[in-house]
Structure 1
Amino acid sequence: MLLLAAVSLIAIPAMVGASGARPWGMIAAGQAIGAVAAVIVGFGWGLSGPAIIAKSAPGERRREYVESALARMVLFVPAALAAFAAAWIVGGDFAIYAGFGALSSASVGLTANWYFVGTDSPYMLLICETLPRVLGTLAGIAFMLLGSSALVGVVWQLVGMLAAFLTSGVWILRTSKAIPRTEYPRRPMLAVLRRQQNGVISMGLSAVYASAPILIVTAIIPASQPLYAVVEKVQRQINVGLNPFVTVLQGWVPRAQPGFLRSRIRLCLSICTAGSVLVIIVMFFGAPLLVGWLGNNQIHPPVHVYLLMAIVTGLSLFETALSKACLAAVERLGVVARATALSGIVGLAGVAVLAHFWGAGGALMGVMLGLFMRIVMELVGLKTALQDEGGDLSPSSRNQRPLPKGR
């Protein structure tokens, strides 16, 4: 994932240089719309999948992947077409750029990284998932450097994701073909999707919350759209680069031995707090160089925007680990869904109001407000879940008993 994030960042100045800041800004807007479609396609497996796979027998793992793959292929066509249409409307003079940006982003919902995380298979994640996407992005960069437009670059990103989906599926099915299928018959698709409802709701609301600000900025202050787009893109790609950190925790926390889940959750939160502070410091001092390079020296945010971007990135890292690793491990995805819904309303209202007065900086302040509210609500929900089982989050909690498997 670090490799993918690095290559994706390199693609940004290549796109800006190939077609200019405005077309690239529309690609970014389209990708924000496509991110919502990706959540519909992924249907919550990215949140609940690692814990399910980590706790399952090999036959159950195969069934889980097959059921998810079939469901996601069915969902991909309508979700991707809807995203393309919405991006086309938003894109205006650069509608085709926005449309293919949406398609490339929507295809990420087909990812199988949650399966590899659950099986603790980092090398296969690299080979089957990351490598095809990296090669697709590199091919796009090469074509753009040879004179093609940014549209060609984003199409190659789409090709890379589709190749990753096929490669991962072939490997998973081939390595599990010896398992008798009759032992684990497929369940009805509606039942499978119904089981994922909390995961898809929480991830869907998160995607809307992550994607809506750039659309709000585009509508309210179009002149600031390229600036916000590059800041948002840097923040998003840094979070992608940090995904390995979160995915390790996603697999590590649920695999705790009976009696050690609470202590593992506390350690996870401590690590994430330190990591988030470090990310904020590094982002604040390193972002000016990165944004200047990515924006092809055409975009120059003020200092307070860099500070807000750094804080939002650090809070995002902490919240992602809190929801995907800790709350998923205690099967409290309903808490994540409720926190995301309520904080999203407050945060997006803040984005709309504050962006009107303070532009891109105001939009980031609204995002930060919503993230902080979500973290507080999720921490309260996690503490309640642990106390319900006779424990708490305090360091003094020593006599711990395991969470019942039914919880």
Structure 2
Amino acid sequence: MNAKTFRRLFGFLVLPMLGAISPLIALPAITSNFGALAWASVAIAQSVGAAGGVLVELGWGLNGPQRVARARAANQRQILATSLATKGVAFVVIGPVAAVVSVLLAPGYEIAAALVAVGATGVGLTASWFFVGTGSPSKIMITDSLPRIIAVIIATVAISLGAPLLVYGLAILIPSVASPVLALLMTRVGFVDFRTVRGRRILIAIRLQMVALSGRAVSALYIALPITLVSIVSPQSVAVFASIERLQRMTLTVLQSVPNFMQGWVGRAPDRELRLRRATRSILLNAIMGAAAGAVFGALAPWVSSVLFSGVVTVSFTLSALGGCMIFIVCVSRATGNIALVALRDIRAISLSALAGALVGVPSILLLSAHLGPLGGLLGEIMAELTVLLIQLWAVKRALKIGT
């Protein structure tokens, strides 16, 4: 590995860590000042917003990085302009819906929940996927990670000094809206780059993303919405389930650095044979990383939860062990789906696996959490993710066999 490659990998490793740490800063302040009810409201709003963010993202994070990695500079700017135009239209429609749903489901702090939901939906506006494709981790820092960290730190200090919870909602919302604006400034995308996505062409561009979006949208049912699903059938379980959910999702955010780096690495391969060889290596590396991270998570999550949530909520060793298993499964499926199947041009297999995961996961989460509480919700998630992984492994194996 040469020095340039190492710097890129280091950048993609550090930035997700910063993104994962920033919400952690606020959690002790929220739970110690407002209690478990406020944490449950915030968690539900973030769950609803995360699902909305998947829709706003329109699948650009799936097929965009490898597409950008192969494009010339002028075409790269047009791709970014197209993505932000289409995402902007989606955000205007989906943001208010997320706010209303979170207000209806959250057990209290409605205004804060609405702001958090809209802000979390706005995360889908990010251009981080573009900088993954161009191999520019420093620009992710400037346009996305740093604004979020600064906003959350300010909100945490304000809450500790007696500010209302809605300050945290603003800390989620403002960076989400600022991120795409900063990306346009960093890439020098001008009005001329938006000429291909004016009027009806925006709708055409959105339609062209439907294949990539379909898998993302369906997967949101078992990735982004489990907290919301649990709140419907077992409201008393939300605080504990949201805690283990948040910890494992933050861990997965940090681990996202490796597949992020590999998306561009695979996409820049000059021929199909090398692309597939790199994709196969990425599956092995992500599996090793996932196994190690899952073991560490299983051992440390109970202690970390008692610190982060101020003793208001704690995670048992049973839940942490299952969370570790889920981390391993997701790490492998990120490589089989977002890297290998994208390299094989089999986006439909990703959508199929997501649909199967939703068909297994949604009823499992609802049924099991109603009877087993947080344990049941987590088991339902694992069943969904395992279904996705098995289908993707089958699709990769089939595609490689056909190609030989």
Query: What is the TM-score when the length of structure 2 is the normalising length?
Result: 0.91
More deviation in 273-282 or 85-94?
85-94
The counterpart of 2:98, out of the listed 61, 76, 83, is: 83
Residue of structure 2 in register with 1:106 after alignment: 121
Gap change, CA 1:180 and 1:16, over 3 Å in 2: closer
Aligned-partner residue type, residue 285 of structure 1: A
- Distance in 1 of aligned mates of 2:255 and 2:146: 17
Q: Does 1:360 align with 2:364?
A: no
Q: From 237, 240, 251, give the equivalent of 1:224.
A: 237
Deviations 1:188-247 (A, max 9, x none): 222211221111111111222113321222122222111011111111111122222221
The CA deviation at 1:63 is 0.7
CA distance in 2, matches of 1:189, 1:224: 42
Structure in which a larger fraction of residues adopt helix: 2
Counterpart residue number, 1:315: 329
Structure 1, residues 56-85: CA drift from partner, whole Å, max 9, x if none? 111111111111111111111110001001
Structure 1 residue 264 corresponds to structure 2 residue 291: no
2:68 partner amino acid: I
| Conserved? CA contact 2:276–2:343, under 8 Å | no
1:253 aligns with 2:266: yes
2:197 matched to 1:190? no
2:77 is the counterpart of 1:62: yes
Deviation at 1:185, TM superposition (A): 4.6
Q: CA-to-partner distance for each residue in 1:323-370, whole Å, 9 max, x for gaps?
A: 112211222111111111112111221112221222101111111011
What is the aligned partner in structure 1 of residue 4 from structure 2? none
1:36 lines up with 2:58 in the alignment: no
Instruction: Check whether the contact 1:137–1:160 (CA below 8 A) recurs between aligned residues.
Output: no
Cross-structure match for 2:246: 233
Aligned counterparts of 1:229 and 1:86: Cα–Cα separation in 2? 18
Q: Which residue of 2 aligns with 1:169?
A: 184
- Per the TM alignment, residue 296 of structure 1 is displaced from its structure 2 partner at its CA by 0.8
Q: Identify if the C-alpha distance between structure 1 residues 276 and 181 changes in structure 2 by more than 3 Å, giving closer, same or farther.
A: closer
Q: Distance in 2 between matches of 1:185 and 1:31?
A: 34
Label 1:70 to 1:311 Cα distance change in 2 as closer, same or farther (>3 A): same
Contact 1:91–1:97 at 8 Å: present in 2 too? no
8 Å Cα contact 1:9/1:234 also seen in 2: no
Cα distance in 2 for partners of 1:170, 1:18 equals: 38
Q: Following TM superposition, by how much is the alpha carbon of 1:314 offset from its aligned partner in structure 2, in angstroms?
A: 2.1
Within 2, Cα distance between the matches of 1:87 and 1:72?
21
C-alpha contact (below 8 Å) 2:109/2:165 kept by paired residues = no
Q: Is the 8 A contact 1:292 1:299 kept in 2?
A: yes
Q: Give the number of aligned pairs.
A: 386
- What corresponds to 1:15 in structure 2? 30
Paired residue type of 1:378: Q
Distance in 2 (CA, whole Å) between partners of 1:316 and 1:43 is 21
Percent identity (aligned): 25
SS at match of 2:267: coil
Task: State the match for 2:216 in structure 1.
Answer: 203
SS at match of 1:93: coil
Q: Matched residues in 2 for 1:15 and 1:82: separation?
A: 25
| Structure 2 counterpart of 1:405 | none
- Out of 329, 350, 358, the position equivalent to 1:336 is 350
Equivalent of 1:302 in 316, 321, 337: 316
Q: Distance in 2 between matches of 1:149 and 1:232?
A: 25
Give the Cα separation in 2 of the matches to 1:120 and 1:95: 40
**What CA distance in whole angstroms lies between the structure 2 residues aligned with 1:380 and 1:341?**
15
Q: Does 1:143 align with 2:158?
A: yes
Q: Which runs of 5+ in 1 are unaligned?
A: 391-407
Name the aligned partner's letter for residue 74 of structure 2.
G
The one-letter code sitting in structure 1 at the alignment partner of 2:311 is: N
Q: Contact between 2:370 and 2:376, CA under 8 Å: does it hold in 1?
A: yes
Tell me which residue corresponds to 1:281.
295
1:90 touches 1:98 (CA, 8 Å); kept in 2? no
Equivalent of residue 122 in structure 1, options 131, 137, 144: 137
Query: Shift in Å at residue 12 of structure 1?
Result: 1.4
How far is the alpha carbon of 1:93 from its aligned partner? Answer: 3.2
Cα distance between partner residues in 2 of 1:300 and 1:92: 20
Contact 2:258 2:286 in 1 (8 A): no
| Residue in 2 that maps onto 1:215 | 228
Output one character per residue of 1:126-177: Cα deviation in whole Å (capped at 9) or x when no partner: 12221112111111112112211332122112112222221111111x2x66
Note closer, same or farther for the CA distance 1:56–1:352 as it changes in structure 2 (3 Å cut).
Answer: same
Q: Distance in 1 between matches of 2:340 and 2:403?
A: 15
- 1:128·1:167 contact (CA, 8 Å) conserved in 2? yes
Aligned partners of 1:110 and 1:165 also within 8 Å: yes
Please state whether the residue corresponding to 2:135 is helix, strand or coil: coil
Following TM superposition, where does structure 1 have runs of at least 4 consecutive aligned residues deviating by more than 3 angstroms? 179-182, 184-187
My pick for the range that moved more, 57-66 or 159-168, is 159-168
Partner Cα distance (1:321, 1:154) in 2: 33
**Could you tell me which residue of structure 2 aligns to residue 345 of structure 1?**
359
Structure 2 letter corresponding to 1:317: C
Equivalent residue letter for 1:191: I
